[in-house]
Amino acid sequence: MRGTPSDSGQALFSRSLESFLAGLGSDGLLRTHRPVTATDGRTVRLSDGRTLVSFASNDYLGLGAMPLTVSSDRSSSSASRLLGGSLAELHRAEEFLADFFGYPEAVLFPSGFQANVALVMALSRMGLVIVADRQDHASVKTGLRASGARFHLVNHLSSSHLEKRLASLGSAGAAVFTEGLFSMSGKSPDSAQLIEITDKFGTILISDEAHALGVLGPEGRGVLTGSAHIVVGTFGKAYGLWGAFILGPVGLHDLMANGAFPYVYTTAPPPVLAALVPERVSHAAQMDGERDRLLHLARRFRQALSDAGVSPENVSGNHHITFVTVGPRATEVSALLEERGLWVPAVRPPTVPVAGLRISLTAMHTEDDAERLASTLAIVL
């Protein structure tokens, strides 16, 4: 029988929402949507008609605007992987990814968030202790809490804290989560040191390469790809698509099918994504010119920040992501930049410990764009 929601339930929802949002607002943490009508990796056009130079895109190579040239007979897999949705197209794409990155197995996911939650849950169900960097993505932390895993957080990129924590675990099996390029601090781990520590304690090393893939490493294959036992990657950043994947050892598919609820209880990725993956990943591998230009631009931008007088103590990042710590004025500074034609949304707790600006450069930016942002930041900070 079709009807309308009850007034009492609607009133409860409205009261609860109002109270929840008011609390966030009083703490300066209220988030709102800003509709964007067009974006190309360099600019955004807002619903009010203004076009701003954007430093918030993850379209690092500009492939997000690349036409979709591959078609598929189906728009949906129409079932979960275990109930008829494990289409041949998905298996072919997974075989391509495993071969391209040099791992025995690969598993596709609808999103990176889902992939990380699934992986954490599956590892914890195998009885492993999870050791994660405090600045690991929110999806990892969500997985830790949702799965009831036994876990420890270590200070950001602190090798000494990691080693101390692993030593305290004794004979307990552990899995260490890191990122090839941390999405907020813009830093990469010391790969050699991290591998040495995890090898010393016989732990499983897992690296989320979402922001490194396409940009860092030979052919954009990432920072720890090939060295980490398990790698999480996404298509929605440098590859300009959507969805995600996990690379790992023999048995990875069996682990997901038997230990990861986010894999089992969801519709499989669409076959059109599977058809696009080989072409797009192969295309990105050939974009050395764009990678070199982007990383040169990133170095030029950090130098421009220094030249403009922005304190190096407030600037973090080694590659194409730079974080500028601002503090309580972050939202105000973001608004001042917007008034001057620059789109740099503020990032606030709990996403980061101290509010600031996450500045993301792409191969579509020019040196003038980078220098303009640096000089303007020095004025409004």
User: Does residue 28 fall inside a structural domain?
Assistant: no
Looking at the structure, do residues 294 and 274 belong to the same domain, yes or no? no
- Cβ atoms of 55 and 234 within 8 Å: the answer is no
Domain annotation covers residue 340: yes
* Residues facing 208 on adjacent strands: 179, 232
| Residue 170 confidence (pLDDT) | 84
User: What average pLDDT score do residues 20-49 get?
Assistant: 89
> Averaged over 140-152, what is the pLDDT?
93
> How high is the pLDDT of residue 1?
54
State the average pLDDT over residues 127-150.
94
77: alpha, beta or left, given left = phi > 0 and alpha = psi -120 to 50? Answer: alpha
Same domain, yes or no: 109 and 192? yes
% of residues, the chain, pLDDT over 70: 99
Check whether residue 43 and residue 91 sit in a common domain.
no
Residue 10 belongs to a domain: no
Q: 3-state DSSP call for residue 280?
A: helix
Provide the domain count of the chain: 2
Residues 39 and 123 in one domain: no
Cα(101)–Cα(333) distance, rounded to whole angstroms? 41
pLDDT digits (tens, 9 = 90+) for 47-96: 999 999 999 999 999 999 888 877 677 788 989 999 998 999 999 999 99
Do 130 and 248 lie in one domain? The reply is yes
Average pLDDT, the chain: 94
Q: Are residues 40 and 115 in the same domain?
A: no
**CA–CA distance, 358 with 346 (Å, rounded to integer):** 7
- Identify whether residues 226 and 297 lie together within a single domain: no
Neighbouring C-alpha atoms within 13 Å toward the C-beta of 298? 25
Q: What is the pLDDT of residue 255?
A: 97
Rounded mean pLDDT, 349-365:
94
Residues 228 and 211: their CA atoms lie apart, in Å, by 16
Tokens standing for residue 270: 């669409």
Mean pLDDT of 126-149: 94
Work out the average pLDDT over 325-335. Answer: 94
Residue 3 has what pLDDT?
73
**Chain centroid to CA 259: how far?**
23
Q: Could you list the residue range(s) of the whole structural domain that residue 146 is in?
A: 75-285
Query: What are residue 319's phi and psi, to 5 degrees?
Result: -135, -125
> pTM of the prediction?
0.94
- Give the CATH number, domain containing residue 50: 3.90.1150.10
Last residue in a domain, options 233, 258, 285: 285
Residues 105 and 123 in one domain: yes
- Reported as a single tens digit per residue, the pLDDT across 243-298 is 999 999 999 999 999 999 999 999 999 999 999 999 999 999 999 999 999 999 99
3-class DSSP assignment, residue 208: strand
One domain, residues 189 and 239: yes
Is residue 111 domain-resident?
yes
